[in-house]
Amino acid sequence: MPTERPRRRIPEATVARLPVYLRILSEQAEEEVESISSDRLAELAGVNAAKVRKDLSYLGSYGTRGVGYEVAYLVYQIRRELGLTHDWPVVIVGAGNLGQALAGYGGFGERGFPVAGIVDVDPGKVGTVLGGVRVRHIDELSQIVQSKRVNIGVVATPTAAAQDAAERLVRAGVTSILNFAPVVLSVPRSIEVRKVDLAVELQILSYHEQRRATTSTLRSVAGGIGGGPGTNGQVGQVGQVGQGGQGGQGGQVGLGGTAATSRPASA
Amino acid sequence: MPTERPRRRIPEATVARLPVYLRILSEQAEEEVESISSDRLAELAGVNAAKVRKDLSYLGSYGTRGVGYEVAYLVYQIRRELGLTHDWPVVIVGAGNLGQALAGYGGFGERGFPVAGIVDVDPGKVGTVLGGVRVRHIDELSQIVQSKRVNIGVVATPTAAAQDAAERLVRAGVTSILNFAPVVLSVPRSIEVRKVDLAVELQILSYHEQRRATTSTLRSVAGGIGGGPGTNGQVGQVGQVGQGGQGGQGGQVGLGGTAATSRPASA
DNA sequence: CCAGCTTTGTGAACGTGTGCACGAGTGCCT
DNA sequence: AGGCACTCGTGCACACGTTCACAAAGCTGG
Ligand SMILES: NC(=O)c1ccc[n+]([C@@H]2O[C@H](COP(=O)([O-])OP(=O)(O)OC[C@H]3O[C@@H](n4cnc5c(N)ncnc54)[C@H](O)[C@@H]3O)[C@@H](O)[C@H]2O)c1
Ligand SMILES: NC(=O)c1ccc[n+]([C@@H]2O[C@H](COP(=O)([O-])OP(=O)(O)OC[C@H]3O[C@@H](n4cnc5c(N)ncnc54)[C@H](O)[C@@H]3O)[C@@H](O)[C@H]2O)c1
């Protein structure tokens, strides 16, 4: 079993898809599927088969022509490439609505991101236990980060406090931040920041809804602008998509979208 | 005041940035700033100034050369383009950890996405009140969607139930879905789906952390692989970024990343 | 009214991402 | 052993997105 070093630098767009492949492959492994073709994997992931092959080719791990990929080996390779060979403890700043939901969610620990700690400024929150972890005061942040060797921090404070939270995280030694507050954080360029902004997601959906309404108005002059539900409910027929092409994605610096539109075929 | 129709189709990457500009411009408007340059807006949004100008040029709304853009007018134009001239009520499926956090979060209503309803299958959850909205049984979904004219649905059920939830939403008449479950939903191609997958975000961060560790190992042979915190905390000096370029983003069909990396200068 | 400064709008070059098409292996069946 | 069906790996063309650079346009002061 070759332990080749990551040969090329992996494109961000590919990095963003690897976790999806990984989840699917892990599921397949549980169902005792030993081998999988790029076609099948593409179908399950809702992407183009050529894209799957190209993505996987960056791993340097080879499939077998005429056969497909060995699921277990692929899982191993992707996990290694993503740095998932060991856990990455995370620390959450802000134990409000969202922080509590995150802490109470077991999915992170399962996927290798155990919650090493939750901190808050509110004395009323300190001491309460969320998802098995006791909320501690924010002054203990540095100590938690250092003793638990935390590299990843999550900002779940109100908007006004997000910049402060980020700075505290950076000072404490965190090098990657996942930010839920709808603000652009200012941090040293060496820090990797990713943003999840639900309002932005909804606004993008709104744009498409609005566009849908406008377009149909042009065709059927009757349609009101408010745009009632389209009620075309054809749920059964799944639309395997012709993958409407588009520029890349990736956690690029500028801004960039947040979610991905997908519409794959089910099994 | 010209009310020009949206001339060109707006690129997805731009659509994904407009909400960010909108938020910043709204804040500026509250601070009574009347005019803003692309440079300043770019700085606040953490993007390249040329990108800002190009993005805004798609709106057809004009700035004034030598001066900048009129904040209020830009806000109006962006809101119009994004379809934010009226509210878009949303319905949440799944009143668990996440559904409760979403319902309890006032930010959506403020931004034009009031929670029209929350539904769940669990009889124990039905009847409880979250964020001023009573949880109702999922069988009432269609009725809610139709009576409240809901176009956007949010899937916040466990993974196993997400596909079912999506199908119910589509049958009820919803045409856009925001999915929090880590699965690829199969829906008719006419339905717009966006996915927010926190585990994917963390795994992307993990990739970069791992890469950082590997790279530094090559340089300073000493460093352990586990990669303790880097503790280079230089918080004060904000890094206005040279916008490390990258391929596009956008809510493209395939998959695609979810969050964006940003690192702008603060005011 | 002109000179000089500022800032927009956009053409063009470049970089990234996507998807087709096909050569090149691999396994199976006869 | 040979033929055939299958699937990977990838070159290539094209689409999309980003950034630079600069002419056009507007403002201000004299
Ligand atoms: N709740 C959601 O569903 C949701 C959805 C989208 C975005 N968000 C964003 O997530 C963030 C958190 O939302 P929420 O609903 O959990 O808010 P919240 O008000 O319920 O919780 C915020 C918590 O942060 C704590 N806090 C305040 N200042 C702090 C500081 N300087 N350091 C550490 N902790 C501090 C508060 O004590 C509070 O417990 C907000 O920025 C919000 O915009 C939340
Ligand atoms: N909680 C988080 O912070 C978090 C983070 C990332 C992803 N997620 C994802 O979000 C989803 C929800 O997470 P959660 O923590 O809220 O889960 P949860 O178990 O707390 O809540 C799920 C809710 O959905 C309800 N439900 C189950 N089947 C349903 C159906 N068919 N129709 C309607 N409702 C149904 C359940 O009764 C429950 O109330 C999961 O897919 C999870 O992977 C959650």
pLDDT of residue B239: 37
Q: Are the beta carbons of A213 and B262 separated by less than 8 Å?
A: no
This prediction has a pTM of 0.88
pLDDT of residue A8: 65
For ligand 1, residues with CB inside 6 Å are A 93-99, 120-122, 125, 138, 156-159, 161-162, 164-165, 180-182, 198; B 101-102, 105, 107
Gyration radius of chain B's alpha carbons = 22
How many angstroms separate the CA atoms of A58 and A81, rounded?
Answer: 10
Picking from A20, A206, A218 by the largest number of B CB atoms within 10 A of its own CB, the best residue to mutate is A206
Per-residue pLDDT tens, chain B, 267 aa: give them: 444 444 568 999 999 999 999 999 999 999 999 999 999 999 999 999 999 999 999 998 789 999 999 999 999 999 999 999 999 999 999 999 999 999 999 889 999 999 999 999 999 999 999 989 999 999 999 999 999 999 999 999 999 999 999 999 999 999 999 999 999 999 999 999 999 999 999 999 999 999 998 876 655 443 333 334 433 333 433 433 333 333 333 333 334 334 555 455 443
Chain B residues in contact with A192 by the CB 8 A cut-off are 205, 208-209, 261
Mean pLDDT of A94-122: 95
Nearest to B45 among A82, A184, A209 (CB): A184
How many angstroms separate the CA atoms of A98 and B39, rounded?
Answer: 34
Signed CA dihedral, B1, B3, B9, B13: sign only? positive
Q: Are the beta carbons of B258 and A15 separated by less than 8 Å?
A: no
Model confidence over A134-145: pLDDT tens digits?
999 999 999 999
pLDDT of residue A61: 74
Residue ranges, CATH 1.10.10.10, chain A = 12-81
Where would I find the H helices in chain A?
Answer: 12-30, 38-45, 49-59, 71-81, 97-103, 107-110, 141-148, 159-172, 198-219
pLDDT of residue B61: 74
Mean pLDDT of A121-125: 97
Q: Kindly tell me if the per-residue pLDDT of A225 is higher than 80.
A: no
How many angstroms separate the CA atoms of B212 and A189, rounded?
Answer: 13
pLDDT of residue A62: 82
Mean pLDDT of A122-134: 95
Q: Kindly tell me if the per-residue pLDDT of A224 is higher than 70.
A: no
pLDDT of residue B45: 98
Signed CA dihedral, A5, B259, A46, B97: sign only? positive
Model confidence over A164-181: pLDDT tens digits?
999 999 999 999 999 999
Please tell me which residue of chain B has the smallest CA distance to A97: B101
Model confidence over A31-87: pLDDT tens digits?
999 999 999 999 999 999 999 999 999 998 789 999 999 999 999 999 999 999 999
Chain A residues in contact with B3 by the CB 8 A cut-off are none
Q: Is the CB of B13 under 7 A from strand D?
A: yes
Q: Are the beta carbons of A19 and B203 separated by less than 8 Å?
A: yes
3-state SS, one letter per residue, for A153-211: EEECCCHHHHHHHHHHHHHHCCCEEEECCCCCCCCCCCCEEEECCHHHHHHHHHHHHHH
Please tell me which residue of chain A has the smallest CA distance to B41: A184
Q: At what angle do helices A198-219 and B71-82 cross, to 10 degrees?
A: 70
β-sheet bridge partners, residue B14? none
The domain made up of B90-195 is a member of CATH 3.40.50.720? yes
Q: Which fold has domain A12-81?
A: Arc Repressor Mutant, subunit A (1.10.10)
Q: Are B248 and B13 in contact (CB under 8 A)?
A: yes
Q: Is the CB of A37 under 7 A from strand D?
A: yes
For ligand 2, residues with CB inside 6 Å are A 101-102, 105, 107; B 93-99, 120-122, 125, 138, 156-159, 161-162, 164-165, 180-182, 198
Nearest to B237 among A188, A201, A226 (CB): A188
pLDDT of residue A238: 40
Q: Is the CB of B51 under 7 A from strand D?
A: yes
Q: Which of B191, B209, B258, B163 is nearest to A174 (CA)?
A: B209
β-sheet bridge partners, residue B129? B134
Place of tokens 């075309």: A232
Q: Which of A27, A16, A14, A52 is nearest to A267 (CA)?
A: A27
Q: Which of A211, A205, A56 is nearest to B179 (CA)?
A: A205
Q: Are the beta carbons of B254 and A243 separated by less than 8 Å?
A: yes
